[in-house]
Amino acid sequence: MSNSNEIFEEIIEGDTKLIVPKKSLTEKVPPIKPAFFNPKARTNRDFSIIAYAAFLKKFDGPKIFLEALSGVGARGLRVANELKIDTVNINDLNPTALKIAKESATLNNLKNIEFSEKEACVFLNGYSRKGNRGSLVDIDPFGSPAAFFDCGIRATMHGGILSSAATDLQVLNGLFQGACKRKYGGIPVRVEYGNEMAIRLILGSLRSVAARLGVKIIPMFVESEMHYYRTYVRILNRIDQEENLGYIIHCKSCGHRKKSLEQQQECELCKSKISIAGPLWIGKIFDKEFVKNMIDEIPNLKINKSCEKTLHKCLDESEMDATYFTLDEIAKKVKSSPPKLEKIISNLKENGFTSSTTSFNPTGFRTNATIDEIIKIF
């Protein structure tokens, strides 16, 4: 790097050389100055590469990637270098970050990449006209992505994918309900499956913005990690006629939960007063074929081995209904030590219920059995 070898370092992520600030590799919280790079988000970027590879293989239109908040450009540079893409457009307001991204592009001999120094929505609005939109649009802000949903959807072409990340986990997990309602239009409840509820709140907000613009979203893949939530939705230029906004009804007394189009006042199992989360997305959060296509792309890519294991769990749960249970949650109710996950899943299936693992929690499982039916089998 021309600035100083003391400040920057060259690393390899996936199959791409990246110039990054040295302090981002050594400090617990990566500094924003001189430019932002989060090494812990590598798996996040790996999943993006897999999802984008699966999408591009089946997509016939112009292959254009728009990254509105790029930092040092790690994701966009990897897309340009590792995938078959026509054009990559990297944008950030930090001129130092862009300078680093340009040097990384030179290091990888990339010619299919353009750079922009604009506010994120100004950048995306520049691609909002028909014939000028991106087929892959990526939004990865500090905190909430909600302010960028409108311009992000407008910048995504028909059939394209809009991917957004959220790091305001405390808001989405129910610590600040008022803030969540303002940003996402729905209220969370603090529950064991709070990460899934958070993702459904994000998808619900996306669906509401899309409906106002006369377009439809279809969730293709979602990812939940300790520090972020990420959604990948296909954008279709047609009105959404499906009933996929509703509520999750949760009884804190007996643990019963279900999705519902309408609010309810009491638990149907124990008649206690219930907690209501939403409005939020109550439809499917994984597209089974898309997840299969992601798994098929793995041998062609240099990514973390853990991604494949996670994707097989996503495939396993792709047809299952909303919300999951955890072994500890049930064990606490029956006052016993939890059995092995495989055992409870096989027991549920032997008793005529559907059941699967979940990518959201290593000790979580999905089932169409109610909590009292699970307890009998447990």
**What confidence score (pLDDT) does residue 241 get?**
84
Distance between CA atoms of residues 173 and 175, nearest Å: 6
What is the b/e burial string over 332-350, where b = at least 16 CB atoms within 10 angstroms of the residue's CB? eeeeeebeebeebbebbee
**What confidence score (pLDDT) does residue 378 get?**
86
At 288-297, the pLDDT tens digits run 999 999 999 9
Name the percent of the chain lying above pLDDT 90.
93
Name the percent of the chain lying above pLDDT 70.
98
* Mean pLDDT in residue range 161-169: 97
- Given strand 113-116, what is the order of strands in its sheet? 113-116, 87-91, 64-67, 134-139, 156-166, 229-236, 216-224
On the question of pLDDT at 308 being above 50, the answer is: yes
* Cis previous bond, 279, omega within 30: yes
Closest-CA residue to 122 (of 99, 161, 102, 150) = 150
Q: Is the dihedral of CA 291, 294, 296, 299 positive or negative?
A: negative
**What confidence score (pLDDT) does residue 1 get?**
47
Whether the domain at 8-247 and the domain at 324-378 fall into the same CATH topology: no
Contacts of residue 109, defined as CB under 8 A and 6 or more positions apart, other chains included, come to: none
Helices 42-58 and 306-317, packing angle to 10 deg: 60
Distance between CA atoms of residues 144 and 132, nearest Å: 26
Mean pLDDT, all residues of the chain: 96
Q: Would you give the distance in Å from CA 334 to the centre of its chain?
A: 34
At 91-101, the pLDDT tens digits run 999 999 999 99
On the question of pLDDT at 166 being above 60, the answer is: yes
* Cis previous bond, 34, omega within 30: yes
Residue 6 pLDDT class (50, 70, 90 cuts): low
At 242-272, the pLDDT tens digits run 899 999 999 999 999 999 999 999 999 999 9
Distance between CA atoms of residues 28 and 368, nearest Å: 41
* 159 CB-contact burial (10 Å; exposed 0-12 / middle 13-18 / buried 19+): middle
Report domain extents, the chain: 8-247, 324-378
Tokens of residue 341, six digits: 């996950």
Distance between CA atoms of residues 37 and 4, nearest Å: 17
**What confidence score (pLDDT) does residue 3 get?**
46
Fold of 8-247: Rossmann fold (3.40.50)
Contacts of residue 190, defined as CB under 8 A and 6 or more positions apart, other chains included, come to: 173, 174, 175
Fold of 324-378: Phenylalanyl-tRNA Synthetase; Chain B, domain 1 (3.30.56)
On the question of pLDDT at 154 being above 50, the answer is: yes
Q: Would you give the distance in Å from CA 336 to the centre of its chain?
A: 34
What is the SS3 assignment for the chain? CCCCCCCEEEEEECCEEEEEEHHHHHCCCCCCCCCCCCHHHHHHHHHHHHHHHHHHHHCCCCCEEEECCCCCCHHHHHHHHHCCCCEEEEECCCHHHHHHHHHHHHHCCCCCEEEECCCHHHHHHCCCCCCCCEEEEEECCCCCCHHHHHHHHHCEEEEEEEEEEECCHHHHCCCCHHHHHHHHCCECCCCCCHHHHHHHHHHHHHHHHHHHCCCEEEEEEEEECCCCEEEEEEEECCCCCCCCEEEEEECCCCCCEEEECCCCCECCCCCCECEEEEEEECCCCCCHHHHHHHHHHHHHCCCCCHHHHHHHHHHHHCCCCCCCEEHHHHHHHHCCCCCCHHHHHHHHHHCCCCEEECCCCCCEEEECCCHHHHHHHC
Residue 2 pLDDT class (50, 70, 90 cuts): very low
User: Do 44 and 230 touch, CB atoms closer than 8 A?
Assistant: yes
At 192-218, the pLDDT tens digits run 999 999 999 999 999 999 999 999 999
At 34-87, the pLDDT tens digits run 999 999 999 999 999 999 999 999 999 999 999 999 999 999 999 999 999 999
